[in-house]
Amino acid sequence: MGAPFTSVLIANRGEIAVRVERACLELGLRPVLIASEADRAGRATPGEGGPLAIGPSAPGRSYLNQAAILLAARVTGAEAVHPGYGFLSENADFAEAVEAAGLTFVGPPAAAIRIMGDKIAAKRAMMAAGVPCVPGPGEPLPEDAAAVRAIAEEIGYPVIVKAAGGGRGMRVVRESAEVADAIAITREEARRAFGRPELYMEKFLEHPRHVEFQVLCDNHGNAVWVGHRDCSVQRRHQKVVEEAPAPGIAPALAERIGARCAEACRQIGYRGVGTFEFLYENGEFYFIEMNTRLQVEHPVTEMTAGVDLVHEQLRAAQGAVLETARFAGEARGHAFECRINAEDPTTFVAAPGRIAAVHFPSGPGIRVDTHVSAGYRVSPYYDSLIAKLIVHAPTRADAIRRMQVALSATRIDGIATNLALHERIFADPDFVRGGVDIHHLEKRLREEP
Ligand code: ADP
């Protein structure tokens, strides 16, 4: 039910480990940091002390090693585990193992993680709570090809075939002649990726935006939504720039969708922070998935909703009662986040190496979440995110200008980064106008690489 604790093991690395560490210190909690060999060696000032060695560089032997993490919690006397994002953050078995060890998992109950990890179960739960979903049955596809074709006809082409296990198996089908092959290939991919062949089918939306709703829940049945974000600027399904609020969404519609998300949380017994991801097209929202963890892009909501989501997450895990009234009211101003990655600016291939010198901007409305400094070695073992540059300003136009200036004041020497890509995005008239769809960035890159 959530229990008081005074120390938190942070089962993660990089900028999010730093973010959670600071939140713990602000709340008077003792943070316990862990690090793999690569991360210990990569520190700008290696040597004695620093985070607890958790294992070799390969994630499977360190940040994904459940036994090692539980042991680290035991030897350091940590009473709670914060999983950050990625790694074990959406692993229901891990959440269960943490609780079975007598520790508090800073996240939702394992049962809620499990439902949302199964896309078909998730879609069913959302339909039951009145959250609008992409048209299509919330049921596994039958084996029989003729029956599958009938479902596709009922939905109307184009349709998308997706794996219940997640986004790795996914295929667009535009006509009935393609159905049988598409199903066979996607089923095989799903079997290999997730060990389970269940597929489902829904309408393929051609030009959607990605708009998501942040929720916050306690252990006592209280749930609120705290704003929405637009994450349509993507490359290969990876978000590059995010903003809050999502531009051009009618407040009454947002209120209706947000209220449904909060209701879904109450129905599934959710706790802590979570995100409902939607595709948004022609003024309608279509649920695609729920992320049962803190997200990379959470800062844009923090800036515009005036909330510290990590504080709230820790408080919820301690069993505190959420004062939902605090979250009433519209977003204040506008915020953007640029994900700064160590990657080749033209090929987008990860570009690890030693940062020779670094300078981040500062000043009103500027926030940088990072773990790097001069001398830091970016490891090839993990994702290439080295910093998040976040700006907040009274209007969207002010925030764009602020980001342009902030980007031009950012210097990272010694490794390749995607700073130039961000400068291009913030100079793109369509992006500046607002509301581009999820294909926009890739289309631009094809036109003028
Ligand atoms: P994942 O587990 O990989 O996040 P999602 O269900 O969220 O899987 O889908 C990943 C991406 O695939 C979405 O962000 C969107 O770009 C695309 N997608 C998923 N469903 C649809 C759909 N019905 N129509 C159009 N695009 C879709």
ipTM of the complex: 0.95
Cα of 243 vs centre of ligand 1, distance in Å, is 19
Catalytic one among 293, 339, 377, 402? Answer: 293
Question: In one letter, which amino acid is 430?
Answer: D
Average pLDDT over residues 367-379: 97
3-class secondary-structure state, position 80: strand
223/322 Cα distance (integer angstroms): 8
Nearest to 317 by CA among 217, 225, 222, 226: 217
Report pLDDT for 46.
76
Q: Is 251 in the pocket of ligand 1 (CB under 6 A)?
A: no
User: How does 219-235 read in b/e, with b if 16+ C-beta sit within 10 Å?
Assistant: beebbbbbbbbbbbbbe
Residues belonging to the chain: 449
> Which residue carries 């961000």 as its tokens?
422
Q: Is 422 in the pocket of ligand 1 (CB under 6 A)?
A: no
230/285 Cα distance (integer angstroms): 12
Q: How far is CA 279 from CA 7, 60, 101, 235, in A?
A: 38, 32, 39, 16
Q: Is 173 in the pocket of ligand 1 (CB under 6 A)?
A: no
Average pLDDT over residues 231-247: 97
Flag whether pLDDT at 313 surpasses 70.
yes
Flag whether pLDDT at 307 surpasses 70.
yes
Ligand 1 mutation target, pool 237, 282, 296, 437, most atoms within 8 A of CB: 237
pLDDT band at residue 50, thresholds of 50, 70 and 90? confident
Check residues 114 and 44 and name the one with the higher pLDDT: 114
Name the token pair of 165: 């296990």
Cα of 204 vs centre of ligand 1, distance in Å, is 9
Regarding pTM above 0.90, the answer is yes
322/167 Cα distance (integer angstroms): 33
Percentage of residues in the chain having pLDDT higher than 70:
99
pLDDT band at residue 328, thresholds of 50, 70 and 90? confident
Q: Is 289 in the pocket of ligand 1 (CB under 6 A)?
A: yes
108 preceded by cis ω (within 30°)? no
Burial class (CB in 10 A: 0-12, 13-18, 19+), 363: exposed
Q: Is 116 in the pocket of ligand 1 (CB under 6 A)?
A: no
Report pLDDT for 167.
66
Name the token pair of 31: 């943070």
Contact 388, 340 (CB under 8 A): yes
Average pLDDT over residues 312-322: 97
pLDDT band at residue 165, thresholds of 50, 70 and 90? confident
Ligand 1 atom 11, closest CA: 237
Ligand 1 atom 5, closest CA: 167
Flag whether pLDDT at 382 surpasses 70.
yes
Ligand 1 atom 22, closest CA: 204
Q: What is the mean pLDDT of the chain?
A: 96
pLDDT in tens, 53-105: 999 999 999 999 999 999 999 999 999 999 999 999 999 999 999 999 999 99
107 contact partners, CB below 8 Å, separation of at least 6: 82, 83, 89, 95, 113, 271, 272, 292, 293, 313, 317
Contact 379, 37 (CB under 8 A): no
Ligand 1 atom 16, closest CA: 237
Catalytic residue at 293?
yes
176/154 Cα distance (integer angstroms): 12
Contact 39, 375 (CB under 8 A): no
Flag whether pLDDT at 318 surpasses 80.
yes
- Tell how strand 411-413 and strand 377-378 pair up: unpaired
> Which residue carries 């070799």 as its tokens?
56
